[in-house]
Structure 1
Amino acid sequence: MSPPRFPPGLDPRITAARPDLAWEGLRGQVPAPRYVEGELRRVAAPTAPLRRQPAADAPLDTEALHGEAVRVLEADAEGWSWVQLLADGYVGYMPSQALLPLEPAPTHKVTALRTFLFPGPDIKLPPLGALPFGSRVTVTGERGRFLSTGDGFLFAGHLAGLDQSESEPVAVAARFLGTPYLWGGRSSLGLDCSGLVQTALEACGIAAPRDSDMQEAALGAPVAPEGPFRRGDLLFWPGHVAFVEAPDTLLHANAFHMAVAREPLGPALARIAAAGAALRAVRRL
């Protein structure tokens, strides 16, 4: 299937349209032989891959976390759903088995890097699985130090209400130090540079696009690339983004270290420039 032609200004990464089908909300903007309203669903798996094509070996563009809402535009007989993530608008293919009905609505989110889901309120029980930072869950009751959900029991100290926000994005990002680099990843099992930035900002109540070029265009106000920089500034290169952690250090998920790493600012700028990517922009939130 050849990709659709989008009018200027519509980004194919976040435009729910194919040559044969488009979201109803795009009627009049993108030509398609058929438009659908879609059905809202929620991610039931700890993480769900969003792939470029409906195949397990297709490139991973991003991930959806447990409890995230998606709009399902089409589900095929091979077990794939063509979806759009409601949080950041990203479009792609997700395993249908990772999705469940939208209700009940989440009430809490996971604030630990990972937390175990137990079949009962007892740490000695074999866990059913683990949910990553940012996952959303529906709390239905309380049993001692645990909160019950429709899926099992979670340690109450690892959860916060959806209305609670972290205070500082760089501090959130620093919790992920040592996390392996994963292109398209958004969890504490692996994430990429823009996934780290998006995750840290969202934890602080700041909505952020998914990819670094989108973040460069949408976030903050421009700062002179020669500095000086402040904690929380975002540094952008072609295809890469990093947090300024302090005037002389940066924090980023990167393929050089294959991990979330802290680096001295000057040597990092020189190393990246020597690889052919000069600092392009600085944005201050």
Structure 2
Amino acid sequence: MTDLTDARLVPARTDLADVRLRGRVDAARYVAGRSGRLAAASAPLRRRPSPDAGIETEAVMGDPVTLYDTDGGFAFVQLETDGYVGYLPKAALALEAPTPTHRVTALRTFLYPAADMKRPPLGHVSLGAGLGITGREGDFLRLADDGHAFADSAYVFADHCAPVGIVEPDPAATAERLVGTPYLWGGRTSLGLDCSGLVQLCLALAGIPSPRDADQQETALGMALPTRLDGLARGDLVFWRGHVGMMLDETRLIHANGYHMAVAVEPLAGAVARIAEKSYGAVTSIRRVMP
């Protein structure tokens, strides 16, 4: 059941709402959404159908979406991975895209128009992107033609992918691979991440579903620990009001943050002192996600 108290997760406008919300929200009409997937390498989800609207989050290739309406070049959607609602570029969607069979395991990899690394690439896809694969040619996998937004056939280097269901059991190991990735508000690809996007991506690759934002993660993930800065373990999540980081061990924190404008590792004690003074205040909770 949709939580109507969180507008980020409610597929409704004054003129239109999900038919499942009839009787719970007021709208001029109610529609049944259509299932689709992101066919572009990635795309920003915005709160308004305008290119100058801020990025709320990003969808990556293969992400399932529910489409409710189109508005010019934008599509009003709900992301099925975390429930986020907003506007994606309409051209980035495919309604008949296949279910992904593989995930990208490299930080990012190129798509080619043929099984040939010397051909000019069509573009790149990021860590965690879902690909529908129809066959193999030498060292390359061929993407289903209806699973991507490129005009040509698309191929990806096979060793940069793994079948869906194979997971990285250590989310902190994934986070370490992303050190130096630039900070991007709303970002959740290996080209740019925000704090909760980093956590969500690392947990997803471990097979652990996660909400999108830090405040949602703080109430939904794992179990609460005493709010102390000792006795912490690898993978524990440390929350502030509006920020989250992941422990690499008892003393070191990794987080995407605006101070470094990147994914960075630093002593927890130093981060806590700086954040308390300059931005988010005191630590609000600590949660253990990994057993």
* Fold agreement, TM-score > 0.5: yes
The separation in 2 between residues aligned to 1:8 and 1:168, in whole angstroms, is: 31
State whether structure 2 residue 19 is matched by structure 1 residue 16: no
Amino acid at match of 1:15: V
> What is the percent sequence identity of the aligned residues?
51
Q: Is the 8 A contact 1:69 1:102 kept in 2?
A: no
The separation in 2 between residues aligned to 1:102 and 1:220, in whole angstroms, is: 35
How big is the alpha-carbon RMSD for the aligned residues of Structure 1 and Structure 2? Answer: 1.3
**2:195 corresponds to which residue?**
193
Distance 1:141 1:23, change over 3 A: same
2:248 alignment partner, SS class: strand
State whether structure 2 residue 249 is matched by structure 1 residue 249: no
Alignment of 1:81-230 (within 5 A): 81-149=75-143, 150=145, 151-226=153-228, 227-230=230-233
Give, in angstroms, the shift of residue 225 of structure 1: 1.1
Give, in angstroms, the shift of residue 32 of structure 1: 1.9
The separation in 2 between residues aligned to 1:261 and 1:244, in whole angstroms, is: 12
Alignment of 1:230-249 (within 5 A): 230-249=233-252
Give, in angstroms, the shift of residue 8 of structure 1: 7.7
State whether structure 2 residue 61 is matched by structure 1 residue 66: yes
Alignment partner of 2:283 out of 271, 279, 283:
279
The separation in 2 between residues aligned to 1:8 and 1:162, in whole angstroms, is: 30
**2:49 corresponds to which residue?**
54
5+ long unaligned stretches in structure 1: 1-6
The separation in 2 between residues aligned to 1:41 and 1:8, in whole angstroms, is: 23
Amino acid at match of 2:264: A
5+ long unaligned stretches in structure 2: 146-152
Amino acid at match of 2:205: A
Give, in angstroms, the shift of residue 9 of structure 1: 5.2
Deviations 1:201-258 (A, max 9, x none): 0000000000000000000111111132111110000110000111110000000000
Give, in angstroms, the shift of residue 123 of structure 1: 1.1
Amino acid at match of 2:22: R
Q: Is the 8 A contact 2:101 2:164 kept in 1?
A: yes
Distance 1:109 1:254, change over 3 A: same
**1:258 corresponds to which residue?**
261
The separation in 1 between residues aligned to 2:97 and 2:3, in whole angstroms, is: 36
* Alignment size in residue pairs: 278
1:206 alignment partner, SS class: coil
The separation in 1 between residues aligned to 2:235 and 2:60, in whole angstroms, is: 25
The separation in 2 between residues aligned to 1:283 and 1:105, in whole angstroms, is: 33
Give, in angstroms, the shift of residue 33 of structure 1: 2.3
The separation in 1 between residues aligned to 2:4 and 2:54, in whole angstroms, is: 24
The separation in 2 between residues aligned to 1:122 and 1:32, in whole angstroms, is: 52
2:255 alignment partner, SS class: strand
The separation in 2 between residues aligned to 1:54 and 1:15, in whole angstroms, is: 16
Give, in angstroms, the shift of residue 29 of structure 1: 2.1
Distance 1:247 1:14, change over 3 A: same
The separation in 2 between residues aligned to 1:223 and 1:8, in whole angstroms, is: 26
State whether structure 2 residue 26 is matched by structure 1 residue 35: no
The separation in 2 between residues aligned to 1:108 and 1:30, in whole angstroms, is: 38
Distance 1:163 1:249, change over 3 A: same
Q: Is the 8 A contact 2:17 2:30 kept in 1?
A: yes
Q: Which piece of structure 1 moves more, 211-220 or 134-143?
A: 134-143
Deviations 1:162-200 (A, max 9, x none): 111111111111111000000000101101000000000
State whether structure 2 residue 261 is matched by structure 1 residue 267: no
Amino acid at match of 2:24: Q
1:199 alignment partner, SS class: helix
1:18 alignment partner, SS class: coil
Q: Is the 8 A contact 2:215 2:242 kept in 1?
A: yes
